[in-house]
Amino acid sequence: MSTKATVEDVKRLASLARVDVPEEALASFAAEFDSILAYVGKLDELKLADSDRVLTTVRNVLRTDEGAYAPGTWTKAITDQFPAKEGESLSVKKILNHD
Amino acid sequence: MTKLLNELSIVEAARGLRAKEFSVRELWDACANAAKEKNPALNAYLELFDAGEEAIAAAQTRIDTEGEQAPLLCGIPIAMKDNILIKGHIASASSKMLANYTATYDATITKKLKEAGVLFVGRTNMDEFAMGSSTEHSAYGTTKNPLDVSRVPGGSSGGSSAAASAHTALAALGTDTGGSIRQPAAHTGLVGMKPTYGAISRSGLIALGSSLDQAGPLAKTVADAKILYDVMKGKDILDATTISSDTYPVRETGTHMRIGVPRHLLTEGLDADVLARFEETLEALKSAGHTVHDIELPTSGYALPVYYVIMPAESSANLARFDGMRYGLAERGASLLEDYVKSKTAGFGAETIRRILLGTFVLSSGYIDAYYRKAEKVRDILRAEYTSAFDVCDVIAFPTTPSPAFKFGEKSDPVSMYLEDVFTVTANLTGMPAISVPMGNVERDGTSLPTGIHFTAPHGADDVLFKIGALVTGETL
């Protein structure tokens, strides 16, 4: 795992994560990334048998779908936090453009 | 010398309230005034709350009418970490992203503490989204260590550790993903406890790493930590990962505890005087009849690299929800995508962005096998090694941190900061409970600084930690 993080890698990850890393910070991010990956790369020394993961006895437990809140109980508290709204609806930009 | 009211432990305050030596109002005022007076210098709190006449009077009435039957926490002032929701209050996780976010509901633990009559002094500073070990990553300035203001109070629950250590609250709540309760407790002379994964509900906590996070107490005594833990624990319908009392087998310990010590982990990277305090603490336990056993945890050296794969992976997924749409910071651009990018970029600090990118990387196609899936396999091995070590011992001990509290700016590169958690992360990876208890002081630049001894117990054996902790502090539970 001797990956060398490049400025291009950081740009690509930033775009996947939907954040903007300013041009002047790209190099330092890449350098920090290298030192973190070098440290994490210690895992490479560990030779593991090519087996499946050990399954624990812990199971996923879901509760019964019941005891719903009366409609509107939380509406005001939640819609009050909306940055933009029309009535009780959240306003967002169009996601499809036809022009 | 009589203690001031704000300097009392929970046990002492509960006793005093019941004996009518002082009132809930007097206890609240003592803490609230100490917080007001000390906070400008410490920045432990982001906001101080007003408990309100009504809540104070209600707690007093309950103690007067119920007496010994009233919950021990009734009327007790507690500090709350800024990533635990209290309905109607801002919960920002010390991020600009959530500066305007008002909690619409109580976390389950908030609800339980309110029912017990707790009064919240304020919300405490932390590393942004709990990512850090010093509070230097807060968007609202650093918190100072009350024992030496040129040093960090630990992190991420550094505001909580400073608040309790400076006696502005009788105890504080924290969350611990890789050591964020235990490490700040060690750096400020407190007891800090991370319960078994699932022992306490995570509902209403702002998530960092969902398979690692647990809330827990930072307290002045082991007895106080236990009181808070006992009130907060239990199965919760709102958190499917909570466990019941019979999920894990009950562990019996004899009168004499068997303490396992992984000597091979203590050969380097540890300050000599911290190791000396550790050995002295073990010697004291031995002379009281407890036994110390050498144990091997061969894969433990890989715990921190494993943690720095799994935690960023989980946090990048958890933090994806903060997109400027429904709540929190909302920057606007020319398109919906720009709305997301601008909000995230303006809302997140540098360390948060670093971890989001790292998480995105270890989960990305082509790297997920080498990093994330391998880390999960090593995590299984760590769990198995600890489980078999517990065949020959009741608890596993090492120092909580390699050194006492460090100075601001001392750990400026990410990896040196990450190494602060080298001893604590394993308990989060295995899900086992762990506690840090003061084990004596060391001197740095003429200042006496506390250090902590760390004990891990098997899953579900949280009470064993209080037992061994009390043996170290000399308390009777």
pLDDT tens, B121-157? Answer: 999 999 999 999 999 999 999 999 999 999 999 999 9
Residues of chain A with C-beta less than 8 angstroms from the C-beta of B357: 10, 13-14, 17, 19, 21, 29, 33
Cα(B202)–Cα(B330) distance, integer angstroms: 26
Residues of chain A with C-beta less than 8 angstroms from the C-beta of B350: 25
Strand partners, A89: A86
| Annotation says B81 is catalytic | yes
Q: Beta strand pairing status for B119-124 and B77-81?
A: parallel
Model confidence at A2, pLDDT cuts 50, 70, 90, reads very low
Q: What is the 3-state secondary structure (H, E, C) of chain A?
A: CCCCCCHHHHHHHHHHHCCCCCHHHHHHHHHHHHHHHHHHHHHHHCCCCCCCCCCCCCCCCCCCCCCCCCCCCCHHHHHCCCCCEECCEECCCCCCCCC
Residue B238, SS3?
Answer: coil
Taking CA–CA distances from A66, the nearest residue in chain B reads: B237
| Annotation says B156 is catalytic | yes
Going by C-beta distance under 8 Å and a sequence separation of 6 or more, which residues neighbour residue B205? B83, B84, B85, B107, B175, B213, B215
DSSP code of residue B301: G
Going by C-beta distance under 8 Å and a sequence separation of 6 or more, which residues neighbour residue B37? none
Least Cα separation, residue A54 to chain B (angstroms)? 7
Model confidence at A99, pLDDT cuts 50, 70, 90, reads low
Smallest Cβ distance to B344: which of A13, A18, A39?
A: A18
Q: Write down the pLDDT at residue A96.
A: 78
pTM, 2 dp: 0.96
Smallest Cβ distance to A54: which of B357, B384, B413?
A: B384
Report whether pLDDT(A52) > 80.
no
Which of the following is catalytic: B180, B201, B315, B403?
A: B180
**pLDDT, tens digit, for every residue of B195-248?**
999 999 999 999 999 999 999 999 999 999 999 999 999 999 999 999 998 999
Which of the following is catalytic: B38, B81, B220, B467?
A: B81
Taking CA–CA distances from A93, the nearest residue in chain B reads: B336
CB contact under 8 A, A17 and B102: no
Least Cα separation, residue A16 to chain B (angstroms)? 7
What distance lies between CA B292 and its chain's CA centroid?
27
Residue B259, SS3?
Answer: strand
DSSP symbols for B26-71: HHHHHHHHHHHHHHHHH--EEEE----HHHHHHHHHHHHHHGGGS-
Q: Write down the pLDDT at residue B166.
A: 98
Model confidence at A69, pLDDT cuts 50, 70, 90, reads confident
Cα(B64)–Cα(B308) distance, integer angstroms: 51
Residues of chain B with C-beta less than 8 angstroms from the C-beta of A44: 370
Going by C-beta distance under 8 Å and a sequence separation of 6 or more, which residues neighbour residue B192? B157, B161, B174, B176, B181, B182, B183, B184, B185, B186, B216, B217, B218, B219, B225, B435, B436, B452
Q: How many CB pairs under 8 A join A and B?
A: 129
CB contact under 8 A, A53 and B326: no
Over residues A70-82, the mean pLDDT reads 93
Judge contact between B342 and B333, C-beta under 8 A. yes
Report whether pLDDT(A55) > 70.
no
H/E element holding B436? strand B434-444
For residue B178 the two structure tokens come to 């890789």
Cα(B339)–Cα(B248) distance, integer angstroms: 47
What distance lies between CA B335 and its chain's CA centroid?
40
Which of the following is catalytic: B156, B161, B315, B316?
A: B156
H/E element holding B333? none
Q: Write down the pLDDT at residue A53.
A: 65
**pLDDT, tens digit, for every residue of B324-338?**
999 999 999 999 999
CB contact under 8 A, B370 and A1: yes
Residues of chain A with C-beta less than 8 angstroms from the C-beta of B324: 83
Q: Beta strand pairing status for B447-456 and B395-399?
A: antiparallel
Cα(B39)–Cα(B47) distance, integer angstroms: 10
Model confidence at A57, pLDDT cuts 50, 70, 90, reads low
Over residues B50-78, the mean pLDDT reads 97
Q: Write down the pLDDT at residue A3.
A: 58
* A70 at B interface, C-beta within 8 A: no
Q: Is ipTM beyond 0.85? A: yes
* A63 at B interface, C-beta within 8 A: yes
Identify which of B277, B17, B4 has the alpha carbon closest to the alpha carbon of residue B166: B4
DSSP code of residue B131: -
**pLDDT, tens digit, for every residue of B266-322?**
998 899 999 999 999 999 999 999 999 999 999 999 999 999 999 999 999 999 999
Going by C-beta distance under 8 Å and a sequence separation of 6 or more, which residues neighbour residue B398? B261, B262, B265, B266, B278, B423, B453, B454
Least Cα separation, residue B337 to chain A (angstroms)? 8
Over residues B28-35, the mean pLDDT reads 98
| Annotation says B180 is catalytic | yes
CA atoms within 13 A on the CB side of B248: 21
CB contact under 8 A, B357 and A77: no
Model confidence at B413, pLDDT cuts 50, 70, 90, reads confident
Report whether pLDDT(B394) > 50.
yes
Least Cα separation, residue B385 to chain A (angstroms)? 13
Q: Write down the pLDDT at residue A1.
A: 43
Q: Chain-wide mean pLDDT for chain A?
A: 85
For residue B456 the two structure tokens come to 């891990």
Residue B321, SS3?
Answer: helix
Of A5 and B135, which is predicted with more confidence? B135
Least Cα separation, residue A71 to chain B (angstroms)? 16
Could you count the other beta carbons within 10 Å of the beta carbon of residue B364? 15
- Token pair 């647990």 is at which residue? B214
Taking CA–CA distances from A10, the nearest residue in chain B reads: B357
DSSP code of residue B413: S
Q: Write down the pLDDT at residue B343.
A: 98
Judge contact between A17 and B360, C-beta under 8 A. yes
Cα(B418)–Cα(B406) distance, integer angstroms: 13
